[in-house]
Amino acid sequence: MRAHAMIAVWMNVANEHDREFNDWYETEHLAEVVAIDGILSARRYYNPVGEFRYLVLYEAIDESIELGAGFQAMLSKPTPWTLRIRKLCDKPSKRSNFRLRHDTGNAAGTGALLAIHSTDGPGTAAPQSCRDALDGCLRYRAFEDVTRPDAWLELYEFEKLASVPVARAMLPGRKDTHAETYQGIGTPKLRASA
């Protein structure tokens, strides 16, 4: 199966709770989410100075998965550990559901990510051109927000974090753009093949 959608979740916990937060993700939560029908993988990222320090990307077969019974059951019946983690968050998490619009390259297990939020979108540039325009970019994907068709998430994936600042400086300016750089963390969780 191929992913045609992405559920992105941005979260923060106070620094003193980082260890437990990461343990929860790695030992309980990622496996719980990837077990939901339609979720294909989960990858985690970290930015020590970002508005939200943690980002997790769940690849899904389509944009209906977030509203489906499996995902909603997980949200409405949290485990005791999930309830504890929610209390440790120092501000509400942010979750968005995205529909894939452009995808080029291959970067399974990338070490770094440049995530760009924009109301301008990728425009008419070919996805291959977007990827090729940035040195070291292995994969480029553009997603349209399911609930806000004027909102976009573009992901430029790199092998190393050191490549991202150079690439970021090469991007052309666009209106209403917010960019964040993330380092890959933890172990990616992939759905077992049937």
How confident is the model at residue 25, as a pLDDT?
A: 96
Nearest to 98 by CA among 139, 146, 140: 146
Structure tokens at 94: 């942010």
Name the pTM for this structure: 0.91
In tens, the pLDDT along 18-62 reads 999 999 999 999 999 999 999 999 999 999 998 899 999 999 999
- Residue 185 above 80 pLDDT? yes
How confident is the model at residue 92, as a pLDDT?
A: 87
Nearest to 129 by CA among 166, 154, 163, 149: 154
In tens, the pLDDT along 85-126 reads 999 998 889 999 999 998 888 866 668 999 988 887 776 555
How confident is the model at residue 47, as a pLDDT?
A: 95
